[in-house]
Amino acid sequence: MVKRVGLVGCGTMGGFHANCLRQIPDCELAGIYDIAEEKRNKFANELKVMPYGSYNEMLQDEGIDIIDICLPTPLHKEYVLKAAERKKNIFCEKPIARNLEDGKMMVESCKSAGVKFMVGHVLRYFYEYAKAKEVIDSGGLGKIGIVRATRGGAFPHASNEWYADSQMSGGLVLDMIIHDFDFLRWCFGDVQRVYAKGMINKGYKFIDYALVTLRFKSGVIAHVEGTWALPGGFRTRLEVAGSKGLLNFDSKDSMPINIEVKGTGGGGGVAVPESPLKESPYLLELRHFVDCVINNKEPDITGKDALKALEISLAALKSIETGKPIVI
C-alpha cells in the first residue's frame, strides 16, 4: 500500500527530501507546506506537487500517512505534537529540538499516539561512516583510543538568518556536529564527560567554530571540530585510531570526479569535484522510515537516540558557556 507523505518546509533540506521521496516505491509526495506563501507556491510549481494552504489542512487530510518535517529547530516541537495528535507518522530533521524538555515531550507524544517517529541523523546512512563502523565493529582496529572528526563549511544562510540566532539554532554545536555526536555514540556508546570551546555568543557575525572533547564511558576519547568559518565548500573528516590499526578519510580526497572547464574567454574556470552515488544517504534514511511505517517496524534511530545526541550537544554548549567539563 502506497504511503502518502506531506512535506513541511520548503528550504534546502525540504528540496532534498522531496527529490528522495519521489524515488521511493510505495511512497508518494502528496503535498507540501511552508508558512511563506510565495516560497511554498514556487516550490509546488517547480516540483509539480500540491501546496496545502495551511498545516492544519495538511493534517486534516486523511490520505496523509507521514509528515516529513524540514523546519528550523525551534518549530519542531509544535509541528510534531500536532502531527502526533492527528496520528500521523513523523520523520523530523535533526536536531530533535532546541532543549531536552521539548524533545522528551515529542518522543512521549509519538509513543502514546502510537505513531512511528524518526529523527534524521543521516550520518548513519553515509556510506563512508557506515563502512567505518563496520570496520570498528569487526575488531580490525583493536581497542579504540582516539577518534577525530571534522565537519563544516561556510556559514549557512537560510530563512530569516535563523542559523545566526543562537537561541534558535544553538549554532553548529547543536545543528551540525550533532551528526558526529550521534555517529560516535552509535559506535562507542554513551558519553561520560564533555569539554568544549566555541565561538557561539562571542559577538562575531556569521562565524561559528567549536572544538569539542568527548570522553565516553567506554574510555574512548573523541575530538570533534565543527566549523562554519570556511569561505566555502563542505568538508568532513574522520580518523579512528586503535591498538591494531588506524582508519582515516577526508571528503576532499574521496572525489572520483573532478571537472575543470575553461571559463568564457578561455581562462578562469572553476574545478568542481563530485562523489556520485546511485542512492543518496537521504534516500536511504527516508526509505527506511517508509519501510518502518509500511511493515510496522521500529526505526533504526529511536527517539532515545535523538535525545541522547541532543544531550551531548547541550552539554557541549554548556561547557562553552561555563568553561567547565560537563558530566552527563
Partner 1 sequence: MVKLGIMSFAHMHAYGYAECMNRLDGVILAGIADDNTARGRKMARKFRTKFFNSYKALLDEDIDGVIITSENSRHREMVGMAASRKKHILCEKPLAISIKDAQAMIDICHANGVKLQTAFPCRFATPAIRAKSLINEGRLGKVLAINGTNHGKMPGGWFIDKKKAGGGAVMDHTVHVIDLMRWFLKQEVVEVYAEVDTRFHNIKTDDCGILTMEFNDGTFATLDPSWSRPAKSFPAWGDVTMEIVGIEGVLSLDIFNQKFSLFSEKEGKENWVNWGDNMDNGLVEDFVNMIEEEREPSITGYDGLKATEVTVAAYQSAKRKEPVRLPLE
Which residues contact partner 1 by CB under 8 A?
143-146, 148, 150, 193, 195, 197, 199, 202, 204, 207, 209, 211, 213, 215, 219-221, 223, 225, 227, 229-231, 241-246, 323-325
Between residues 157 and 235, which has the closer beta carbon with respect to partner 1? 235
CA dihedral for 276, 281, 284, 286, sign (positive or negative): negative
* Residue pointed to by grid coordinates 509546488: 44
CB 123 within 8 A of CB 98: no
Q: Which three cell numbers stand for residue 328?
A: 552527563
Contact present, 144 and 188 (Cβ < 8 Å):
yes
Task: In angstroms, give the least distance from the CB of 141 to partner 1.
Answer: 9
CB of 190 to partner 1, least distance (A): 16
Nearer to partner 1, 104 or 215 (CB): 215
Of 48 and 205, nearer to partner 1 (C-beta) is 205
Q: How far is the CB of 269 from partner 1 (least distance, A)?
A: 22
Question: Which is nearer to partner 1, 290 or 326 (by Cβ)?
Answer: 326
Closest CA to 133 of 259, 240, 38: 240
| Burial status of residue 50 (CB atoms within 10 A of its CB: 0-12, 13-18, 19 or more) | middle
> How deeply is 213 buried, as exposed, middle or buried, from its count of CB atoms within 10 A (0-12, 13-18, 19+)?
middle
Instruction: State which residue, 231 or 263, has the beta carbon closest to partner 1.
Output: 231
**Measured from the CB of residue 86, what is the shortest distance to partner 1 in angstroms?**
46
CB of 229 to partner 1, least distance (A): 5
